[in-house]
Chains A and B, each alone.
Chain A
Amino acid sequence: MSHVPRARILVVDDENQIRKLLRISLATQGYQIVEAANGAEGIAAAANYTPDLVILDLGLPDMDGQDVLQELRSWSNAPVLMLSVRSGEDTKVAALDLGANDFVTKPFGIQELLARVRVLLRASHANRGADPTIERGPLRIQLAKRQVRLAGEEINLTRKEYGVLALLAQHQGRIVTQQQLLRSVWGASHAHDNHYLRIVVGRLRQKLGDPPTEPTFIKTEAGVGYRLLDAEP
């Protein structure tokens, strides 16, 4: 578990209490914190401090969080972790499609938030693509050979099953939206055939021996997408 020391995190949220909570909790992990109370300040701070990660609340007083995100994405590649309330699946998906990297639902547990932050920071620093093999506990995916092994045993996957698993593995720990999966595995014309995903993920779980109610590999983010879970720390 190697986190990058003194990573700089920008927190954009209009609630003072939430900012305070995030500042205290993130500081314990050794991160450097920059705060902004609204969208305009957030964009300015992102330009001034070039943060390694942005935690962005979607409900801001001056502008829509999505607009902030869009503005940010036009010149910055820093990973963005969104904060949003429950029952806002549509906004989550829209933000993810706009280039946000992950989300945490309010009210959130701080453990979950810290885990997401770690994943995002690591991913942005890891040199992905160079290593064609992804390992996650007993699961080993060799992208070059299109081979998947579970505890050393090779697993036979269909093309679609492999496509979904590989894409999730490449974004390990982070969320991949249904749209992203459908577009890249099935093609743009099937972008709304969510049931393909449900069926394929169901079969993947069976083949990986993953119980659907307490999955250890593929986690469903209801209404949004899937993520390949990080190994428990």
Chain B
Amino acid sequence: MNSSRRADALLADLPREGRGRLKVFLGAAPGVGKTYAMLQAAHRQRELGVDVRVGVVETHGRSETAALVAGLPQQPVRAVPYRGLQLAELDLDGLLASTPQLALVDELAHTNAPGSRHTKRWQDVQELLSAGIDVYSTINVQHLESLNDRIHDITRIKVRETVPDWVIQDADEILLIDLPPRELLERLREGKVYVPEQARAAIDAFFSQTNLTALRELAMQTAAARVEADLDKRANLLGEPLPAVRGRLLVGIHGGSSAAALVRHASRVAERRHLPWSAVHVDDGRAMDEPARVRLQAACQLAERLGGEVVTLRGDPARTLTEHAHERRASLILIARGRPRMWSSRTLANRLLAHSDGLEVSILDVGAEPMPRLRYTQRSAEWTHYVLAAASSAGATAIAMLLSKVLELPNVSLVFLSAVLTVAVCSSLGPALACAALSFLAYNWFFIEPTYSFTINREQDVLSLFFFLFMATLTGNLASRLRRQLKSLRETQSETVAVLEFSRRLTAATDKAAILSSAKQYLEERQPLSTLVMTRHKSGNWHIEDGGDLRLSEQDRAAADWAWKHEEPAGLGTDTLPNCSWLWIPLLGDEGTLAILGARGSTEDHIPPDLNRLLKSLAQPLGQALARARLAEDLEAARLHGETEQLRSALLASVSHDLRTPLTAMRGSIDSLLTLGNAISEDDRTELLEGTRNEAERLDRYIQNLLDMTRLGHGGLKLARDWAAPGDIVSSALTRLRSVLTGLTVKCDIADSVPLIHVHAALIEQALVNVLENAARFSPSLGVISINVAQEGNELCFAVTDQGPGIPPQERKDVFDMFYTAARGDRGGKGTGLGLAICQGMLGAHGGRVAVSDGPDARGTTISMYLPISPQPAQDD
């Protein structure tokens, strides 16, 4: 065993190869000079040629410290805006990227600003260490998690920023920076200790002579415990057992009703003896019923709350406990008495004592435990089975009596055999054996000569009787085993059916949202569960997929993070962070975790194991479905991206063409007028000026179109609907196009009876302007444009007909494509080609549509804009 522990010690050292070394500067209180000492040490390293880099150091405005920092290369801190403040946080990635040999990270217990990768700075430090970077850091003793309660007792201050003990225990070196309280108080008075103004009162209370003395002692104890640990490690390497210098208390807990009391007692003993303590649960592989599991969980939570460490181990309780005690250099093991079956205290205690060389074992009498209720119900079930067994043998006897007249005696035993088989199939092995025994007796009593006695005269009867007993036992055993297998097979099958049904439902869902909602529905309608699906952003923030708002506790979040990272379930009912209120199951695709499924009982705070198993088996099809949806999304995104690129280039082409054309005309005309002014005849001058004005108006329309298109394209279009008279819309469109329509005849036909429409009038007007402008562009000179507004069924139709060349049927659907004319380049005539596309967008936004057809008599083109007619508003008189 020693050799294996030695190997363990060596192995424990192995991963440190390639991992950075952590040196912690430990102090009893702020102001003892940790940071200063750290910086000095860093300077010494630097003189030795080590590549040192300052990750983050709080100088708190002290000039000596600042001077030391200034002498070292620094990683700029990351500014994080938070509630209007600029927080300076460690730039972890920057530091990782610059790969120094030694990084200085002040204040190990610091809590990072929200949105940072890790919630705590010590986690950042762990990452630096994993990357092979040595780290110097500082911590005050009150930030140690295990000391949290004691610090509170001493100082009446609840320290919220804590660091798990193992971080310090795993540190390669700890340096205690000691300053007698008197001197520290001196420094405080001289203002050499940084004190935030808002906390001054609390801090003053904190820095009392008694507090400081107690804290100093704690710091020294911590450092001393560390010395022991080093000693221990060395002893392991040397293969020598070492007497416990200070020791540790282990309390063995289980699911008994005394678990909580035991934990409380352990915490008191540990406190009295100034020992660190662990609550150890040894899983001996036996099944635990639900109440026991819940009690165990509660006890573990309690232990953590009381400052104990919680350890779950597997194996034989006594052996595992003592082994663990040796590993952890524990001096005292505490167990409860009165557990009838599993850790029978007497035997466990005995065996513990047998294994424990030099260990103190305490057995606590916390009162007899009531039998778990579940067992009674099981008993009662079995009891009815025994009744069945008795009844079956009685029945078999009766039938055998009847049949004995026709059957030969040896064959009568078959009747009894049938009874045994029946019982075996209906219940379990115990009743079947009971039935076999009863049948054996009845057979003997009633049928074997001499009847009505247990005596047997003939040898062959003895033989057949015992053969019967043997057969009955064997078949009963087989039948009951078969039944058990069948039962478990059924369970598995029902699970398989569930998975199949689940997969079938998922297949029907096409996108992520549908998949998630059908999964949620499936789970919650069958099981008393509430579920959610979360995904994690790169920043480490969780996003709940179905949009719910949920506040997760720190622990739940940590469990979720773990599950995400390790691709294994964590949280409630698992081995990792089991004290969470949620069970997290990662949903895996080909490239890692896609999302995680969270579940918790909707009525109870635990999840039954079979449900747990079912959830895990459902996670696989769900993960696959999500992967499929993701793939589809990626493809769609790629396609959209391609289209957007195409649109962008078409837009650029059309903008440069369409905006420049009017500008060219305007500039040319104005230049001519300026330079040639008097040489131009009056008529020509007017013509040039009118042309300029028209081009300016055209430019204005194009710009309006571009604006509209951006609004349509970015979903920023909000419909401000109001009742509008179709005539008013036509009228404003005509007003805006007055100059375009010069030389053309516009015929309007609006029935008096046309209803009001409930639309965003400016948008419909723009659509109509675009259609009319198009019509004007293709009209022959002196042509006629007719506008016809009429109700057609449930729709109002604005039909605009020109006398132009018409649009060939095969091109009709293309004219609504953005940039259709633009795509034809400079030959496409005037216009961005946005016109009709925008028209369609505007109508579409109103639930309407646009159609192209031949004009009457197959001449020209009719563009019809259809808008749904809403129920008319009430009239007032």
Contact = CB atoms under 8 A, between A and B. Distances in A.
Interface of A: 86-87, 89, 107, 109, 158-160, 186, 190, 193-196, 198-199, 201-202, 205-206, 211-215, 219-220, 222-223
A201 B723 CA distance: 13
Given A196-B875, A202-B727, A107 B696 contact: yes
Contacts of A198: 723-725, 728, 756
Where chain B touches its partner, the secondary structure class is helix
B47 to A, nearest CB: 60
A160 B728 contact: no
Nearest to B760: A223
B818 interface: no
Interface stretch (B328-336, B654-662, B667-675, B730-738): B730-738
Contact of A222 (B732, B756, B876): B732
A223 B752 contact: no
A86 B766 CA distance: 12
A194 B787 CA distance: 26
Contact of A195 (B697, B730, B761, B873): B873
B727 A213 contact: yes
Given A196-B876, A214-B731, A222-B761, A107 B700 contact: yes
A220 B723 CA distance: 13
A173 to B, nearest CB: 17
Nearest to B699: A107
Contact of B762 (A89, A107, A212): A89
Contacts of B876: 160, 186, 190, 193, 196
A220 B731 contact: yes
Contacts of B761: 222-223
Contacts of A199: 756, 875
Given A87-B762, A198-B728, A222-B732, 14 more contacts: A86-B704, A87-B707, A160-B877, A195-B873, A196-B875, A198-B725, A199-B875, A212-B727, A212-B728, A213-B748, A214-B731, A219-B731, A220-B728, A222-B724
Interface in B740-766: 748, 750, 752, 756, 761-762, 765
A223 B704 CA distance: 17
B230 interface: no
B700 A195 contact: no
Contact of B734 (A158, A194, A214): A214
B295 to A, nearest CB: 65
8 contacts: A193-B876, A202-B727, A211-B748, A212-B727, A214-B734, A214-B748, A223-B761, A223-B762
A212 B727 CA distance: 5
Interface in B685-712: 693, 696-697, 700, 704, 707
Nearest to A106: B700
Nearest to A219: B731
B750 to A, nearest CB: 6
A230 to B, nearest CB: 16
A211 B765 CA distance: 18
Nearest to A215: B731
The 9 nearest A-B residue pairs measured at CB:
A212-B727, A195-B723, A220-B728, A195-B873, A213-B748, A213-B730, A213-B731, A198-B725, A222-B732
Interface string B842-877: 000000000000000000000000000000010111
Given A107-B700, A215-B731, A202 B748 contact: no
A219 B876 CA distance: 22
Nearest to B872: A195
A212 B693 CA distance: 27
B217 interface: no
A85 B482 CA distance: 87
Contacts of A201: 725
A136 B37 CA distance: 96
A222 B762 contact: yes
B722 interface: yes
Contacts of A211: 748
A109 B729 CA distance: 20
Contacts of B873: 193, 195
Contacts of B723: 194-195, 198
A202 B756 CA distance: 10
B696 A222 contact: no
Nearest to A202: B725
Contact of A213 (B697, B722, B734): B734
A198 B725 CA distance: 6
Contacts of A186: 876
A46 to B, nearest CB: 31
Contacts of B697: 107
A213 B704 contact: no
B824 to A, nearest CB: 30
B841 to A, nearest CB: 16
B184 to A, nearest CB: 58
A212 to B, nearest CB: 3
B750 A195 contact: no
B756 A212 contact: no
B725 A206 contact: no
Nearest to B765: A222
B317 to A, nearest CB: 78
B722 A194 contact: yes
Contacts of A87: 707, 762
Contacts of B748: 211, 213-214
B234 to A, nearest CB: 77
Contacts of A159: 877
A222 to B, nearest CB: 5
Given A160-B876, A190-B876, A212 B731 contact: yes
A207 B723 CA distance: 21
Contacts of A190: 876
B361 to A, nearest CB: 83
A194 B873 CA distance: 10
B766 to A, nearest CB: 9
A119 B724 CA distance: 27
Nearest to B758: A195
Contacts of B765: 222
A157 to B, nearest CB: 12
Contacts of A213: 727, 730-731, 734, 748, 750, 787
Contacts of B729: 222
Contacts of A160: 876-877
B118 to A, nearest CB: 47
B722 to A, nearest CB: 5
B877 A158 contact: yes
Contacts of B700: 107
Nearest to B693: A109
B875 A206 contact: no
Given A198-B723, A222-B728, A206 B762 contact: no
A220 B722 CA distance: 14
A204 to B, nearest CB: 12
Interface in B814-853: none
Which of B693, B728, B748: most chain A CB closer than 10 A?
Answer: B728
Nearest to A185: B876
B400 to A, nearest CB: 96
A212 B875 contact: no
Which of A159, A211, A214: most chain B CB closer than 10 A?
Answer: A214
B752 A206 contact: yes
A190 B762 CA distance: 23
Contacts of B728: 198, 212, 220, 222
A64 B725 CA distance: 33
B116 to A, nearest CB: 41
A212 B725 CA distance: 9
A185 B783 CA distance: 44
Nearest to B789: A213
Contacts of A212: 725, 727-728, 730-731, 750
Contacts of A222: 724, 728-729, 732, 761-762, 765
Nearest to B764: A222
Nearest to B733: A213
Contacts of A223: 722, 761-762
A219 to B, nearest CB: 8
A210 B756 CA distance: 18
